[in-house]
Amino acid sequence: MAGPVLGRYELLDKKKVLIVDDQNGIRVLLMEVFSSEGYNTFQAANGRLALEIVKEHSPDLVLLDMKIPGMDGLEILKHIKAINRDIKVIMMTAYGELDMIKEATDLGALMHFTKPFDIDEMRIAVNMQLGGDSSNNRFAVGS
């Protein structure tokens, strides 16, 4: 009986990453990267869809763009944290949104990446956050 139980456990053990960005190219790239890292990946082009996924699938980590038409990143971040404070959030920002970054950190975002970001640095940061490293380091990376 150990076989099926182990299989189910492995399925449950797969960490979930949600990518929220209105730019399709960025979503596709990040989905590819994090799927190949062994994560269950979800994507959303807007805040409404992102929050539906958060409620239904409870991702372990959200990569969240700051500027999304309709509901901006800060608003989405507030809603995510209201649904589940334990969901880790990494912000993706355009250059020059430093005031918003401070507010995002105050609201519970762990770190941010400035676009264009180094995909390997982001991959390492996500793996660090989801790899059981409980130190919750907050830092900024990007150009």
- pLDDT higher than threshold 50 for residue 136: no
pLDDT in tens, 20-79: 999 999 999 999 999 999 999 999 999 999 999 999 999 999 999 999 999 999 999 999
pLDDT band at 6 (very low <50, low <70, confident <90, very high): very low
CA distance 108 to 17: 17
CA distance 16 to 42: 8
If one counts the domains in the chain, the total is 1
Tell whether the torsion through CA atoms of 23, 25, 27 and 29 is positive or negative.
Answer: negative
- Look at residue 8 and tell me if it is in a domain: no
pLDDT in tens, 88-101: 999 999 877 778 99
- The CATH number of whichever domain residue 119 belongs to comes to 3.40.50.2300
Range of the domain at 54: 15-133
